[in-house]
Chain A
Amino acid sequence: MENIVGGKSALVWAVHLSVGLLVVLWLFPTVGLFVSSFRTADQISSSGWWSSLGEVQQNLVLRAADPDEFRVERDGRYVVEGTLFEEGVAAKITVWGTSSRRIDEFKPGDVADLKKGETITVDAVGNYLWSGPEERMKGRGQRVFVTAQTPPDFTLANYDNMLFEEDNLEGMSNAFFSTLTVTIPATIIPIAIAAFAAYALAWMEFPGRSLLIAAVVGLLVVPLQLALIPLLKLHLGIGIGKGYLGVWLAHTGFGLPLAIYLLRNYMASLPRDIIENARVDGATDFQIFTRIILPLSYPALASFAIFQFLWTWNDLLVAKVFLIDATGETTVMTNHIVELLGTRGGNWEILATAAFVSIAVPLLVFFLMQRYLVRGLLAGSVK
């Protein structure tokens, strides 16, 4: 921007600020779900996720230890000592009290007079010292009302429950493996078919070539909604039925136009000299393709593979039509999540975790292979 605005640094700051604002706006939704997936059901329903990042102020009612069991005699008085919080809780008490009507009566370190010689004092981290004459130090432990700042508290229990709990019928592990099973063949097979066709369309001369390319460009935008009923009828008719084979074939068919288009454009841009030299040296088309073109086309292959992977992993419609039958034995993660949305609409700890299990893999692929994704996008949008 420097050369445009010259010395106007206010504009530069405005640019930085607005980009920052946009980035925050775009990240905010995902971060919300991500943070929620590490909170317990109680935490999620008691406060917004944004408040869990800082310290949370909580009002708690706690009780000193049972005097009949823990009191010790010291200088003629009976004393009970201990800490109000369970072990591992790093809360900081700001105010406390001994009556529910005045919960902010004392500061940490103050001594509360409980009448008839009985006193109790509580410090900032919850250690208390409660003492009094023998007849007062019996029965139940003294109640203490504290207002405490608790630090952010996150747990992995949701993931444990959704992924590794074998008894959990709503768990994601089955759906995860089904999605994986759908995705990998559906990514690899179209590449094998498309690569040969792309080579023929890029480097072989034959009548009707440009017509075929135009047809591929046309098929690129045919909505797959049109293919649902006829293909389902076909699959049921020839005995494939609903299942993995059907969904693999469907994804292969739907992915082919983009695969051919991307690969053809890339192969056509390879230098003509290499191919012609190889021809002169007596290489056959099959050799040229496998020895020269295929290795050189690696970036385009990677681009398409990422596209197809993301598309099949994230797909709901094709899986619903071609894979998931009435028995509901096989499901994919997207479908599983939609079902959870219906049955567990308010249980955000389950929904957030389920969604993040399914989002995690594409996000990983995205951040590792972004370069190829961008390249594919640039080549794939019809100019």
Chain B
Amino acid sequence: MHPALQGLITIILGVGGCLGYFYLANQILDKVIFPPRLDDAGRNINRANMVRPWLFLFPAIFALGLYLAYPVFETLRLSLTDRLQDGAFVGLANYQQMFGEDKFWEAMRNNMLWLIVVPAVSTAFGLLVAQLTDRIAWGNIAKSLIFMPMAISFVGASVIFKLIYDARPVGREQIGVLNAVWLQFEGGVGSFLFLRLLPAIILLGFALVVAYTVWLVLRPILTGRRRSGWWLSALQTALSALGIYLAILAVINTVQVFRIEHVYGQPQTWLTLPFWNNFFLMVVLIWIQTGFAMVILSAALRGIPEETVEAAILDGANPFQVFFRIKVPQIMGTIVVVWTTITLTVLKVFDIVFAMTNGQWQTQVLANYMFDKLFRANDWGTGSAAAIIIMLLVTPILVWNIVNARREMR
């Protein structure tokens, strides 16, 4: 049968089946099982109404259970068994084997790098664009154009950026923008400005922002004026420690930026430069996710009560103070939502790495590592173990989401 015809039949069967099921199930419930007859009409109607929600819910619960809930437990089970031994229980052997692999730790390291960089940069850019376009006449057009990459597939975006990173041999005309720009640098003043001063300023700025945030978080704890519970303080302290570590790292790298020797005049194959190639892959996801962050944050900025901003201006606040002291604190909740949503996307990132480097040159990430194990090495045990690691990383966000959703419904 032709696939298109098959598709059409599936649509008709699927949708018709759904409607038919709901209609018939309701009819049977009302007319056959609990018919509202004279003797106990009221009781039967009540009974029917007790059952009806489950009729409406059954297909969805069945599909959700089979396609999302059951696999979580089945994957957990598979990760404790060995396929080669007919699915015998092997305890944590798969995990042990996985933890012994360099490629796994490389994937973990890279994933952590992605987790730090991509949500932060996307959210920051999104916030910047949302604020800048807020009151200008062509803001909506600008937003729509920056939002556009959301519609482009990860694979399509990978092709787009592969052209940018393209490298031709020395002496040939470069057709990748990055190399064309790179070859303009010859070690003169421009090179100093763009390759040393600018990165140094960005790194120092990053260190300062992080240090300031850590200071804001720690001050109430240090001065003993904490009002929150001990576990929140513990979490804040842990995050602050991470922040201090990142800030120190940034400062050290600022020094490095001035000491590193650049190879001018040589076209670079960007995707094979160890460590840095991770960032070239991240750029693709940042390019896509910034639009998402911008849309949500833009709506949040619009929702800020006008009076708070006007009061601040009357009190003599400058635009930067208005933004950082008045607007940002009011949309903090939305910023966290955007951050966590992008974090989820990052944890599952697969297509970009698969299409651009396939994990070569030390760019492996967890999702691609898992795919590798499953479908190339045919090792279902280790693959499932990797999937469980992804699930564990997602779990805090899952719990947080549920807690929030329940609080909101009350």
Chain A residues within CB distance 8 Å of chain B: 1-5, 11, 15-16, 18-20, 22-23, 26-30, 32-33, 36, 44-50, 177-178, 180-181, 184-185, 188-189, 192-194, 196-197, 199-201, 204-206, 209-210, 212-231, 233-234, 244-245, 248-250, 252-254, 256-257, 260, 284-286, 310, 313-317, 320-321, 330, 334, 337-338, 341, 348, 351-352, 354-355, 358-359, 362-363, 365-367, 370, 373-374, 377-378, 381-383
Contacts and interface: CB of A to CB of B under 8 A. Distances in A.
B140 to A, nearest CB: 10
Interface stretch (B210-218, B244-252, B260-268, B347-355): B347-355
Interface of B: 3-4, 6-7, 10-11, 14-15, 18-19, 22-23, 26, 30, 49-50, 52-54, 56-57, 59-61, 63-64, 66-72, 74-75, 78, 125, 128-129, 132-136, 139, 142, 144-164, 166, 168, 173-177, 180, 287, 290, 292, 295-296, 299, 309-310, 313, 319, 322, 333-334, 337-338, 341, 344, 347-348, 350-351, 354-355, 367, 370-371, 374-375, 380, 383-384, 387-388, 390-391, 394, 397-398, 401-402, 404-406, 408-409
B401 A47 contact: no
Contacts of B135: 1-2, 4
Nearest to B59: A193
Given A189-B14, A348-B163, A225 B348 contact: yes
Contacts, number: 342
A381 B293 CA distance: 11
Contacts of A381: 296, 337-338, 341
Q: Which interface residue of A4, A30, A45, A49 has the most chain B CB atoms within 10 A?
A: A4
B175 A49 contact: yes
Given A33-B159, A228-B387, A206 B67 contact: no
Contact of B67 (A44, A46, A249): A249
B409 A226 contact: no
7 contacts: A192-B15, A210-B409, A223-B391, A244-B6, A248-B14, A285-B26, A348-B166
A382 B404 contact: yes
A334 B136 CA distance: 37
A377 B292 contact: yes
A32 B164 contact: yes
Nearest to A259: B60
A4 B309 contact: yes
Contact of B351 (A184, A221, A254, A316): A316
Contact of B136 (A16, A32, A234, A317): A16
A193 B18 contact: yes
B75 A250 contact: no
Contacts of A354: 159
Contact of A225 (B10, B18, B390, B401): B390
A184 B70 CA distance: 26
Nearest to B386: A225
Given A48-B174, A337-B155, A338-B155, A225 B367 contact: yes
A26 B113 CA distance: 23
Given A219-B69, A230-B70, A313 B153 contact: yes
Given A253-B64, A286-B22, A197 B355 contact: no
Given A218-B398, A221-B394, A253-B63, A244 B7 contact: yes
Given A196-B60, A216-B64, A337-B355, 11 more contacts: A47-B173, A50-B177, A193-B63, A206-B54, A254-B67, A286-B23, A320-B375, A351-B163, A362-B151, A366-B148, A377-B296
Given A230-B74, A341-B355, A383-B404, A23 B145 contact: yes
Contact of A15 (B136, B154, B354): B136
B296 A362 contact: no
A249 B71 CA distance: 14
Nearest to B133: A19
Which 10 A-B residue pairings sit nearest by Cβ, starting from the closest? A253-B67, A314-B153, A197-B60, A366-B151, A230-B74, A200-B56, A227-B71, A192-B18, A189-B14, A1-B135
A362 B149 CA distance: 10
A22 B129 contact: yes
Contact of A253 (B66, B128, B387): B66
Given A26-B149, A47-B175, A382-B401, A33 B163 contact: yes
A285 B159 contact: no
Contacts of A221: 344, 394, 397-398, 401
Contacts of A45: 168, 175
A185 B408 CA distance: 34
B156 A352 contact: no
Contacts of B374: 228-229
A377 B295 contact: yes
Given A185-B7, A193-B18, A377-B296, A317 B371 contact: yes
Contact of B57 (A27, A197, A365): A197
Nearest to B129: A22
A111 to B, nearest CB: 35
A317 B64 contact: no
B160 A30 contact: yes
A367 B147 CA distance: 10
Given A4-B322, A22-B146, A177-B4, A226 B53 contact: no
B50 A206 contact: yes
Q: Which interface residue of A11, A177, A231 has the most chain B CB atoms within 10 A?
A: A231
Contacts of B174: 48
Given A47-B175, A189-B14, A227-B68, A363 B22 contact: no
Contact of A32 (B132, B160, B344): B160
Contact of A192 (B14, B23, B163, B344): B14
B394 A252 contact: no
Contact of B153 (A20, A199, A233, A316): A316
